[in-house]
Amino acid sequence: MEIVRTITQLNTVINAAKKQGSSVGFVPTMGYLHEGHISLVEEARKHDDFIVMSIFVNPLQFGPNEDFERYPRNLQRDEKLAKAANVDVIFYPDIEEMYRSELTCTVQVKKGVNTLCGRTRQGHFDGVATVVLKLFNIVQPTRAYFGMKDAQQVAVIENLIADFNVPVQLMRCKTLREEDGLARSSRNVYLTEIERQQAPEIYRCLKQTVEKIENGERNLAQLKEEMVEFLSTKTIGTLDYVEILSYPSLEETNEIKGEIIIAIALKFAQARLIDNVIITV
């Protein structure tokens, strides 16, 4: 496994792989790797010959109240995990390599960002879209792998690919879950014993809503009201949102038809948990 820090070096390595007929799988990260990232690499290995992982803490997606400097970084640890997962090359640029001067152009995401988690993170997805488009142009992968736990991010990137005709196939990767259904997250360690017992109710609520839709329920207001009641009864958390939206447009819909996302964000004392399911009706 190689670690390269410049775009020129990375282009040389990737071009050599492509000349040998290899397809390129791309896993973009901000580092401090966990099993979710590794599962993306494992999925990439099923489809592509040469795996590129980027590790770059992108300053453009941090808001004024979000501490960019405190974001965890540990390249030595990340290197060991990536190597064990059979990553071929890590692209580890610094800010100057990615943004050599003040940007004259950035991506502005106009749809799908004023709902779900984007409602309270103004400008966040503009930063995500800008860095992802830049990374796509640098790596020029065959496929790129993103986890569906952050389905809003996946939607933004799918729409970015479509809008700008980016020649890359986005691969949606399923959310990793504990045996009781709780979506795996680094935030889970902040749950108290009681909160940890209650946290799986989020996924149970999602599954129950899917079952109702599959059984013919189409009243959106009633479905959302029942989700709120379920979570209020089953947990001590504070509900941030329950939403049923079209996907990947992330727009409100008057009917349950086509691809939709059912999403929840629930705040416990020291952890805000998100989860979702996507179904086609």
Nearest Cα to 130, choosing from 65, 69, 29, 61? 61
Q: Using omega within 30 degrees of 0 as the cis cutoff, is the peptide bond preceding 248 cis?
A: yes
**Predicted local distance difference test score (pLDDT) of residue 234:** 97
Beta strands in 47-157 (DSSP E): 50-55, 89-91, 143-147
> What's CA 99's distance to the chain center, in Å?
23
How do residues 11-29 score in pLDDT, each as one tens digit? 999 999 999 999 999 999 9
How do residues 218-247 score in pLDDT, each as one tens digit? 999 999 999 999 999 999 999 999 999 999
Query: Which amino acid would we find at residue 157?
Result: I
Confidence of residue 144 (pLDDT cuts 50, 70, 90): very high
The answer to whether 186 is a known ligand-binding residue is yes
Pair type for strands 143-147 and 169-173: parallel
The answer to whether 47 is a known ligand-binding residue is no
How do residues 88-138 score in pLDDT, each as one tens digit? 999 999 999 999 888 999 999 999 999 999 998 889 999 999 999 999 999
- pLDDT higher than 80, residue 272: yes
In order of start, what are the domains of the chain with their CATH numbers?
2-173 (3.40.50.620), 186-280 (3.30.1300.10)
**Predicted local distance difference test score (pLDDT) of residue 250:** 96
Nearest Cα to 138, choosing from 146, 150, 130? 130
The answer to whether 121 is a known ligand-binding residue is no
Enumerate the active-site residues: 37
- Mean pLDDT over residues 170-196, rounded? 94
Contact 279, 203 (CB under 8 A): no
- Mean pLDDT over residues 39-62, rounded? 96
Contact 276, 242 (CB under 8 A): no
Confidence of residue 72 (pLDDT cuts 50, 70, 90): confident
DSSP-assigned beta bridge partners for residue 277: 262
Contact 226, 246 (CB under 8 A): no
User: Of the ranges 46-50, 73-77, 192-196, 241-245, which one carries the lowest mean pLDDT score?
Assistant: 73-77
The secondary element (H helix, E strand) that includes residue 211 is helix 201-214
The answer to whether 203 is a known ligand-binding residue is no
Query: Which amino acid would we find at residue 20?
Result: Q
The answer to whether 53 is a known ligand-binding residue is no
The answer to whether 32 is a known ligand-binding residue is yes
The answer to whether 176 is a known ligand-binding residue is yes
- Mean pLDDT over residues 146-155, rounded? 96
**Predicted local distance difference test score (pLDDT) of residue 65:** 76
Is the pTM for the entire model greater than 0.85? yes
Pair type for strands 2-4 and 24-29: unpaired
The answer to whether 218 is a known ligand-binding residue is no
The answer to whether 35 is a known ligand-binding residue is yes
